[in-house]
């Protein structure tokens, strides 16, 4: 499967998957870990350990290999109304 991961940080706001590239992974959790692991490469102003501590929201969407968004599949912390609303309009 392909995913897009949004990591929203306390200090720097929304850091979408490196330049919106889809990530191929077996699970949303694997896509999150891949994104966190590539932070030093794509977001050089973050120390990778400090970056993980700075994350306040994580959102994962299914997408195709070209990056076209599908359903939201993961949200932490969970806002059920936002989750349901997004998926209802997809």
48 pLDDT more than 80: no
The owner of tokens 């990778």 is 48
Beta-bridge partners for 3: 23, 62
The residue extents of the domains of the chain are: 2-89
Does the pLDDT of residue 60 top 90, yes or no? yes
Q: What is the pLDDT of residue 71?
A: 94
The percent of residues in the chain predicted with pLDDT above 70, rounded, is: 82
Residue 65: per-residue pLDDT? 93
Count of C-beta atoms within a 10 Å radius of residue 89: 6
Please state, in angstroms and rounded to a whole number, the distance separating the CA atoms of residues 3 and 11: 24
Q: What is the pTM of this model?
A: 0.79
Provide the sign of the torsion angle of the four alpha carbons 82, 63, 76, 50, taken in this order. Answer: negative
Instruction: Assign 61 to helix, strand or coil.
Output: strand
Specify which of 2-11, 34-43, 48-57, 58-67 reaches the highest per-range mean pLDDT. Answer: 58-67
């Amino acid at each position: 499967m392909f995913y897009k991961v949004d990591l929203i940080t306390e200090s720097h706001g929304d850091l979408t998957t490196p330049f919106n590239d889809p990530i191929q992974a077996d699970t949303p959790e694997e896509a999150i870990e891949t994104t966190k692991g590539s932070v030093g490469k794509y977001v050089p102003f973050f120390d990778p350990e400090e970056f993980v501590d700075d994350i306040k929201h994580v959102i994962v969407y299914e997408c195709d290999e070209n990056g076209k968004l599908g359903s939201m599949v993961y949200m932490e912390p969970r806002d059920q109304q936002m989750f349901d609303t997004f998926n209802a309009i997809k």
